[in-house]
Chains A and B, each alone.
Chain A
């Protein structure tokens, strides 16, 4: 039974989330526009405490971008502060939308592309927000929120489907496990791909040096991207395994080379290649990051082209 009122509420929560995240995006854009390019001076300063003796262990509290902290103008800091709060709020609203939808359809709300997108957007926001707790990644905010805004827009227009029940092969406790972890890892890969892309551009100073100096150095961007990917990859590995277990229960065979399975495997292989490339001495970091971007492109293909055009046992996901 589909509860119309709850389904309505899910859509209201979604619309509010989209609005809040859009405002967060604008604030983050303001932050980037106003934060002055200060990297050079501070990186030089930052080296000092490392070798100075005494008990003063002030270990690089900001992580990747520990260097930009002090010189940011007050207005920019304020904008970033507001954006940060709005990001949390946006994530919470997305979660609320998922919960309402789940209650409305009385099943796990991850049964079609629309629902995947909302949950994926939620996880991308959560990944970003959690990252803000551990390091200063305010520079990243505008890119993540822009991506999420875009995703929410496409999802709620082109991919929208009414709240509905599921066919029986989806009724398994492996479904929530498999798709939640899949969506979580996609959320991580989204942020990872954004950072990789920023690295590739920053490394070449695409469109002018000045802008890239507001962001951390190319090298730290690259490391940050790696640290995201090494969380995403085991989760995707788990997705693959849980999917195989589910496939065996539902279809009798753990691996059927169904298009969705093929692409889950392809994505896994490409990200494995990324980790390999990064560990291979004579392969450049740029090449490795291009492979990571290719992995993300495969995710996009998996969720769009494969869902809509390839016939397989997963095609109920339309």
Chain B
């Protein structure tokens, strides 16, 4: 009978029991170990497969090339490992486990910090380190001496009876350990804050141009979910000059033509009107209030002027072209939206040091502007069909037609050097290639969590060093009065591998035996 009763009542207790059991499992060291290893393994696919967040083009290409496995892997999150549900599950469980571990340990440690070292065991010979000796004198004296010796060695000392002394030190070890684990939690909080309230934006700015930090002015703007887009600090940056230095000294070296340095000389006006000049370099970002400006790209922006038949300017300015190789063979698009009745545009190739290779056609043979040339073909039609946004570097030619030479025999090809101009067919006016500017590619980022992350990382490191170098040691002294002399037993124990423990125990014994001899 009682058996069936138990069966009925068990499930109720079971739920709580299971939860408690589950929690204990989750916060056990074994689970933490398992999850740590799982996290390591889980991170690996992200280095094997291309990641969408880093390189969307290569990812799409990879999936296209692997028709069968590609889509499957995509479903499993192989191309977005660090945002995938399973990766998130691993680190979330790990951090729940971590918190579930820190909290009780902190309270245990807090109590330990305020309590006395425990009573000395009966037989110190059994401890992992032991030494003994004999001194003349009485037990009280020796006990006081032992207390003094241990205090001098920075032990916390207590006597639970007349004939023994208990001492402990190295509490900082556990403190360091808790600091380390807690800092891991705050580090993750810092990362999360950066994700939620941070934003990043990119912008291409030719020499002589400027921009104001507002959402609409940026070429791309990627805000975290909780960013208030109107709260950006509207500082203005003008690129006074963009300089680049390439290795041109040893044409035979493998590094010939490789970049040595890039520098954007900028004039900054802060939100409050405070103006100053500075420079932005690779490895040397510009720290602004509320954002940091990084120089991540550079290239050429040919300056062209397009006029209509009457000499009215339709388009004028430096248009950034995107470098395709180390010698800055660059492609770009010039979109003359102001033209009427029909819009037109140019797809162009800019070559800083132009050379017509018999096999490859027009290429650039050096990254600096030694003999620049601009090659273009022309398209008429609608520039922005359906008002779709498009990259500044390309022309969507889907609803455009390629312009032919006046005799209709071939597609129109323009080849201009600086200062040169050309007349466009069908009375569309003229185009002149006025010169070249360099542009600076800035990445502007705001990460409100970075300070917390950095300080947490440093705290974790400090905690780690503390916990790994400090040893938690207990030393006990027992005294036995044997007539005129006292037998001194010193024993030591440690939670850790403690090669130095025996030495310390022996030193303490020596000090006691030596001291009381002289006294």
Contact = CB atoms under 8 A, between A and B. Distances in A.
Contacts of A51: 125, 130-132
Interface in B94-126: 125
Contacts of A245: 454
A304 interface: no
A252 B443 contact: yes
A162 B454 CA distance: 37
Interface stretch (B163-171, B282-290, B350-358, B364-372): B282-290
Contacts of B1: none
Contact of B460 (A164, A237, A276, A310): A237
A168 B282 contact: yes
Contacts of A233: 464, 468
Interface residues of B, number: 70
A226 B503 CA distance: 20
Interface stretch (A10-18, A73-81, A210-218, A261-269): A261-269
Interface in A214-242: 223, 226-227, 230, 233-234, 237-238, 240-241
Contact of B40 (A54, A167, A169, A270): A270
A37 interface: no
Nearest to A2: B253
Contact of B457 (A169, A234, A241, A291): A241
A279 to B, nearest CB: 7
Interface stretch (B29-37, B264-272, B306-314, B373-381): B29-37
The CB with the most chain B CB atoms within 10 A, among A53, A171, A259, A310, is that of A53
A164 B254 contact: yes
Given A257-B54, A269-B43, A306-B47, A252 B36 contact: no
Contacts of B317: none
A273 interface: yes
A53 B39 CA distance: 52
A42 interface: no
Interface stretch (A57-65, A84-92, A193-201): A57-65
Classify chain A's interface size: 35 or more
A291 B33 CA distance: 11
Given A51-B132, A241-B458, A252-B443, A273 B249 contact: no
A257 B50 contact: no
Contacts of B48: 310
B422 interface: no
Given A63-B499, A233-B468, A251-B296, A283 B33 contact: yes
B426 interface: no
Q: Chain A CB within 10 Å — which of B53, B259, B283, B453 has the most?
A: B283
B30 A269 contact: no
Interface stretch (B398-406, B431-439, B506-514): B506-514
Contacts of B250: 1-2
Given A250-B282, A279-B29, A282-B30, A262 B37 contact: no
Contact of A223 (B39, B51, B447, B497): B497
A252 B442 CA distance: 10
B46 interface: yes
Interface string A158-171: 00001011011101
A57 B253 CA distance: 65
Interface string A168-180: 1101101000000
Interface in B58-73: 58
A311 B50 contact: yes
B254 A162 contact: yes
A107 B401 CA distance: 53
B82 A257 contact: yes
Contact of A254 (B44, B450, B460, B502): B450
Contact of A266 (B44, B253, B296): B44
Interface of A: 1-2, 50-51, 53-55, 57, 59-60, 63, 162, 164-165, 167-169, 171-172, 174, 223, 226-227, 230, 233-234, 237-238, 240-241, 244-245, 248-259, 262-263, 265-266, 269-270, 272-273, 276-277, 279-283, 291, 298, 306, 310-312
29 contacts: A1-B250, A50-B131, A53-B133, A53-B134, A54-B133, A57-B510, A165-B258, A168-B262, A168-B282, A169-B282, A226-B497, A233-B464, A233-B468, A234-B465, A241-B454, A249-B283, A252-B285, A252-B292, A252-B445, A253-B447, A257-B46, A257-B82, A262-B44, A266-B43, A269-B40, A272-B36, A273-B33, A277-B33, A298-B40
